[in-house]
């Protein structure tokens, strides 16, 4: 796969082709590995680099300049098709979120919002909220991303936060973090008291400072643990702290701070669990630190795509 990605780069040279041919012809194992790499990308709708053995033939392909131009064009079309699919998958739900939201942030943007009652909300990157205040209640919906709430006390108007339609948080005056990813919804309490309700299980519980409650959005399972209060909402200082979570969950967090699309080539890699502190100001370095303990790599396929894999 390293060869595959290297030979797709615009900087590919004749020396690269020569070195690849030596490697490819060195053993049948290398040829089989090349076949697997090509097949993996064909599944994604891609094609193999030009002028090189395809996955079904060990011989080197030689093409005329005109056919080579056609192959370059095909590569462009293939990349364009993938890019179009990613845009559809990303923009369609994003458009609906933007339509519903009162406040949003872009990739890698952090924004503080001051509400009418003096409460503040720090919005993490790629996040969105909808606000509904009335004489009898204060309601906020977290539509996507992450937010840290510092709520002004008002016993006559409870403050509620709904996370993705799956968790309901009720407070009077307190500070807490709510995070929403495709895999989970979570709440961390910095100070005060929270009444938490899960619509999936009908569970109600009271949280105290340092409590961390996470909902698995695939099966509705709730888990409860403790974290250091100092580590809560560390993203406001440009850090991401995670404790015993799948790599796929961390990738969803880092995606908010990375302009490129990040994908995990292996479900096994995505399921590996990790604990660590990562620098959000350098998401590529954070990705390397995330997967390298398991012997995996981050492939920079293009400025717009990162692939995490074991090969």
Are 56 and 117 contained in the same domain? no
Whole-number Å distance between alpha carbons of 290 and 128: 26
pLDDT at 123 over 80: yes
Are 270 and 292 contained in the same domain? yes
Residue range(s) defining the domain that contains residue 61: 2-98
Are 110 and 220 contained in the same domain? yes
Residue 95: which pLDDT band, with cuts at 50, 70 and 90? low
CATH number, position 307: 3.55.50.30
Angle 148-151-156 (CA atoms, 0-180°, nearest 5)?
150
Are 68 and 174 contained in the same domain? no
Are 263 and 218 contained in the same domain? no
Written as one string, the DSSP assignment of 42-78 is HHTT--PPTTS--TT--SPP---HHHHHHHHHHHHHH
Are 130 and 26 contained in the same domain? no
Looking at residue 311, its pLDDT comes to 73
Are 249 and 303 contained in the same domain? yes
Contact 262, 255 (CB under 8 A): yes
CATH number, position 223: 2.60.120.1440
Residue 199: which pLDDT band, with cuts at 50, 70 and 90? confident
Residue 154 to residues 111, 157, 270, Cα–Cα distance (Å):
24, 5, 43
pLDDT at 53 over 70: no
Q: Which of 177, 209, 229 is the last residue of a domain?
A: 229
How many C-beta neighbours within 10 Å does residue 205 have? Answer: 13
Are 219 and 144 contained in the same domain? yes
Whole-number Å distance between alpha carbons of 106 and 122: 13
* pLDDT digit string, tens, across residues 253-293: 999 999 898 989 888 899 999 999 999 999 999 999 999 99
pLDDT at 59 over 50: no
Torsion of the alpha carbons at 210, 216, 217 and 222, rounded to the nearest 10: -70
Read off the pLDDT of each residue in 126-155 and give the average, rounded to a whole number: 94
Are 64 and 160 contained in the same domain? no
Q: Which of 170, 197, 229 is the last residue of a domain?
A: 229
Q: How many domains does the chain have?
A: 3
Are 204 and 91 contained in the same domain? no
Looking at residue 233, its pLDDT comes to 94
Are 137 and 30 contained in the same domain? no
Q: Which of 207, 229, 251 is the last residue of a domain?
A: 229
pLDDT at 69 over 50: no
Are 179 and 87 contained in the same domain? no
């Amino acid at each position: 796969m390293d060869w595959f990605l290297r030979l797709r780069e615009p900087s590919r040279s004749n020396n690269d082709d020569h070195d690849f041919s030596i490697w490819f012809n060195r053993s049948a194992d290398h040829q089989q590995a090349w076949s697997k790499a090509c097949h993996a990308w064909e599944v994604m709708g891609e094609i193999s680099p030009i002028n090189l053995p395809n996955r079904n033939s060990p011989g080197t392909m030689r093409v005329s300049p005109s056919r080579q131009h056609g192959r370059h064009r095909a590569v462009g079309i293939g990349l364009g098709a993938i890019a179009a699919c990613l845009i559809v998958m990303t923009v369609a739900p994003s458009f609906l979120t933007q339509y519903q939201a009162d406040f949003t942030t872009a990739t890698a943007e952090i924004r503080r919002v001051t509400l009418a009652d003096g409460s503040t909300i720090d919005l993490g990157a790629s996040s969105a909220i909808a606000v509904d205040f009335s004489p009898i209640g204060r309601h906020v919906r977290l539509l996507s991303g992450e937010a840290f709430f510092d709520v002004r006390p008002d016993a006559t108007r409870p403050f509620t936060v709904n996370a993705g339609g799956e968790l309901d948080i009720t407070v009077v005056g307190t500070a807490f973090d709510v995070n929403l990813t495709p895999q989970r919804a979570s709440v961390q309490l910095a100070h005060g008291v929270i009444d938490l309700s899960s619509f999936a299980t009908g569970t109600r519980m009271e949280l105290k400072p340092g409590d961390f409650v996470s909902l698995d959005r695939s099966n509705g399972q709730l888990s409860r643990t403790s974290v250091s209060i100092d580590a809560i909402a560390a993203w406001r200082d440009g850090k991401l702290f995670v404790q015993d979570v799948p790599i796929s969950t961390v990738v969803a967090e880092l995606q908010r701070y990375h302009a490129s699309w990040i994908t995990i080539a292996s479900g096994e890699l995505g399921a590996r669990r990790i604990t660590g502190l990562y620098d959000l100001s350098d998401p590529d370095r954070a990705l390397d630190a995330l997967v390298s303990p398991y012997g995996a790599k981050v492939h920079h396929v293009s400025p717009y795509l990162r692939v995490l894999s074991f090969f």
